[in-house]
Amino acid sequence: MTHSTPPASPDLDSLRGIGADLDSGVPDGDPATAWRRRRDGYRLVGPLNRHKFSVIVVGTGLAGAGCAAALGELGYDVHSFTFHDAPRRAHSVAAQGGINAARARKVDNDSIRRFVVDTVKGGDFRAREADAFRLAEESIRVIDHLNAIGAPFAREYGGALATRSFGGVQVSRTYYTRGQTGQQLQVAASQALLRQVAAGTVTLHTRHEMLDLIVADGRAQGVVVRDLVTGQISAQTAHAVVLATGGYGTVFFQSTLARNCNATASWRAHRRGALLASPSFIQFHPTALPVSAEWQSKTTLMSESLRNDGRIWVPVQPGDDRAPNEIPEPERDYYLERRYPAYGNLTPRDVASRAARERIEAGHGVGPLRNSVYLDFADALGRLGKPTIAERYGNLFSMYHDATGEDPYEVPMRIAPAAHFTMGGLWSNYDQMTSIPGLFVGGEVGWGYHGANRLGANSLLSACVDGWFTLPYSIPDYLSTRLGEAPLAQDHPAVAETAAAVRERITHLTSIGGTQGPERFHRRLGEILYRGSGVSRSVESLTAAIGEIRELSQEFWSDLRVTGSAASFNQELERAGRVADFLELAELLCVDALDRDESCGAHFRVDHQTPDGEALRDDDRWCFVSAWETTADGYRIRHREPLSFSAVPLQTRNYR
């Protein structure tokens, strides 16, 4: 069936069609035992045959480095690609607060089941229940493995690994290395990867950016990359491809992610046929530093772990311009503790972000721009003392002081919600394989585990579970049927056609000859998204945003300026390609948010809320994952993966 290009004035029926339902691949039966049963049923590749198979892993964060290192250790021929100059520069280093595990070393009644309940409930029942069980089960091995390869976890006085709490839970299951957990885990994973590079099982390609996916005979069989130093376009073929390239939060321009984070690898795979699940499920982190000036290029993350000891409040009186320490206790509104007494400041991120945004928009915002709330450590400092707080959060306090010039030991921090994590991503089945056979995903580039809202410290965990303990099982199952097949030849028509398409796209970008650089378009796109599909959304705001994105896209393709040459190092060209993909992704993001006629987790539609302002799900109509297809002519088709819950029955989230 063919479709015409959607009209310029969008309405929902013209924006999308309805496709077929999808098979999750989860084994029938008890979800608590699904992973063990699936793992036991996987086909194997014998040790003497593994070197005959080639696997491409794009990305060297925790998921990518873990997957490449594990497959290399097993004996496969692995090609690892990163656009960084070293694998340890991957964005996993930016995670601060910790990594969850259901090891139950504290006597606080934690368990695998409680982990699953917290994760499924935290995601507002929009993720697979069986995935949450796998995450919980493998979390125990993840911590032991990372500890064994050198991650310097914090320890109790007697030597046991220390834990703390994160939002959405009432137990202590988060393992940490002060406020540097992501960095320390990334160092350990990178060392494991480089060990395999030295052993010759992994070939590392630094400063190479994936620009397209090679699909032949209906299977993913390679990638086309650009050498960021020389500009050379080349192809690498293999029996399977793994994308571990992170999320797309930078589509909002100002986000907590590094500036170079982008969606090109996943979006190019999507345009080759990989379905994209729940693109509108965007997490706004409640403890980011507020925007302080219009020229600011990104926001700065402050770890959620700070909410263990910090108390969040705003002045009771709107517009109160007194210094925070001059405002007496009776004139402070500890609004999370007031609204959610059972969880207090440790409510899930979507709840905390909406509550902060509501207080700010009601006139209670603080700071020079009235766009933030206070995170106050005075009580904890008085109760525990400065040495204890410094031991737990010292580097975070130093970072805050460096960024703002204010001393959080003396005055409260100022925080505000900011675009952060993407729960949406390339759809995959229970084996982590996308709708394109041979294309697998790991970490944030996928959609699994988190549903409509990710619990803090489940991000590092999901990346590690995918990289170390899921993909090394499921990829061999796929490869086992391809013994004797050689990787696609370099002169295969699919290789030549994909490489030619990449070159043509680059030529187009560099030949427009307009007046505006790519960053200007990106900034304007971010403003549209924050306004139209931010912490809260409405039919009106989303419809307006789609129209504005289309106008901006037309302007981009007629007035883009890319200076420099395509045959050399050119960051303007890199940004231009990424912004072009962001413009297409942003429209689909808004279409998904408009299509999903309910509120759930971080997807908060103002027309679907309870009387007290909480997200109002519609399980009768929307208990499924939306997985989007974009046809060659740009038309969108929404497929469904129905969701069912047996271990954690559907219920209204209640953190009161």
pLDDT tens across 3-56, in order? 334 434 468 888 999 999 999 999 999 999 999 999 999 999 999 999 999 999
Other C-beta atoms lying within 10 Å of the C-beta of residue 7: 10
Position 151 scores a pLDDT of 97
Task: Please state the rounded mean pLDDT for residues 412-421.
Answer: 98
Name the CATH topology of 493-624: Methane Monooxygenase Hydroxylase; Chain G, domain 1 (1.20.58)
Residue 389 CB partners (closer than 8 Å, separation 6+):
309, 377, 380, 381, 397, 409
Structure tokens at 245: 């390239």
Rounded CA separation 90/258 (Å) = 10
Q: What pLDDT, in 10s, does the model give residues 469-479? A: 999 999 999 99
Looking at the DSSP bridge assignments, the partners of residue 21 are: 640
Q: Among residues 293, 298, 295, which one has the least CA distance to residue 369?
A: 293
Angle, vertex CA 73, rays to CA 71 and CA 76, nearest 5? 45
Residue 8, class by beta-carbon neighbours within 10 Å (0-12 exposed, 13-18 middle, 19+ buried)? exposed
Instruction: Work out the average pLDDT over 610-629.
Output: 97
Percentage of the chain surpassing pLDDT 70?
Answer: 98
Q: Which of 16, 38, 126, 349 is catalytic?
A: 349
Helices 571-595 and 518-532: angle between axes, nearest 10 degrees: 20
**Which amino acid is located at 326 in the chain?**
E
Strands of the 163-164 sheet, one edge to the other: 99-100, 174-175, 163-164
Pick from 519, 580, 135: nearest CA to 297: 519
Tell me the mean pLDDT in the region 565-583.
97
pLDDT band per the 50, 70, 90 thresholds, residue 294 = confident
d(CA 184, CA 82): 19
Mean pLDDT on 343-367: 98
Give 106's pLDDT tier (boundaries 50, 70, 90): confident
What are all long-range contacts of 146-151, with beta carbons under 8 Å and residues at least 24 apart?
146/99, 146/185, 146/188, 146/464, 149/188, 149/189, 149/191, 149/192, 150/187, 150/188, 150/191, 151/177, 151/184, 151/185, 151/188
pLDDT at 1 over 70: no
Query: Would you call 142 helix, strand, or coil by DSSP?
Result: helix
Q: Can you tell me the mean pLDDT for 623-640?
A: 97
The residue type at 47: P
Token pair listed for 174: 């988060």
Could you identify the residue written with the tokens 């100059």? 85
Q: What φ, ψ does residue 118 adopt, rounded to 5°?
A: -60, -40
* Locus of tokens 């953190």: 655
Instruction: Say how many residues make up the chain.
Output: 656
Axis crossing angle, helix 129-148 with helix 112-122, rounded to the nearest 10: 120
Do 384 and 309 meet the contact criterion of CB atoms below 8 Å apart? Answer: yes
Average pLDDT over residues 397-421: 97
Domain residue spans in the chain?
Answer: 287-419, 493-624
CB atoms inside a 10 Å sphere around CB 536: 18
Q: Which two tokens stand for residue 605?
A: 């539609």
Residue pair 83/228 in contact (Cβ under 8 Å)? The answer is: yes
Task: Decide: 374 and 313 in contact? Cβ < 8 Å.
Answer: yes
- Is 349 annotated in the active site? yes
Indicate the pLDDT class of residue 232, thresholds 50, 70 and 90.
Answer: very high
State the average pLDDT over residues 142-168. Answer: 95
Q: What pLDDT, on a 0 to 100 scale, did the predictor assign at position 10?
A: 62
Is beta strand 276-277 parallel, antiparallel or unpaired with respect to 77-81? Answer: unpaired
**What is the torsion angle, in degrees rounded to the nearest 10, for the CA atoms of residue 484, residue 489, residue 495 and residue 500?**
180
Alpha-carbon distance of 123 to 85, in angstroms, equals: 35
The amino acid occupying position 407 is D
CB neighbourhood size of 338 (10 A)? 11
- pLDDT above 70: residue 580: yes
Neighbours of 46 (CB within 10 A): 10
- 638 beta partners: 18, 628
The whole-number pLDDT of residue 7 equals 39
Share of the chain above pLDDT 90, in %: 96
3-state SS class at 606: coil
Encoding tokens for residue 412?
């409260």
Sheet with 425-426: strands ordered across: 16-21, 636-642, 624-630, 276-277, 425-426
Tell me how far CA of residue 172 lies from CA of 33, 98, 100, 162, in angstroms.
25, 11, 9, 9
Task: Provide CATH code, domain 287-419.
Answer: 3.90.700.10
Average pLDDT over residues 549-569: 97
State phi, psi for 341 to the nearest 5 degrees.
Answer: -60, -30
Mean of the per-residue pLDDT values of the chain: 96
What pLDDT sits at residue 5?
A: 42
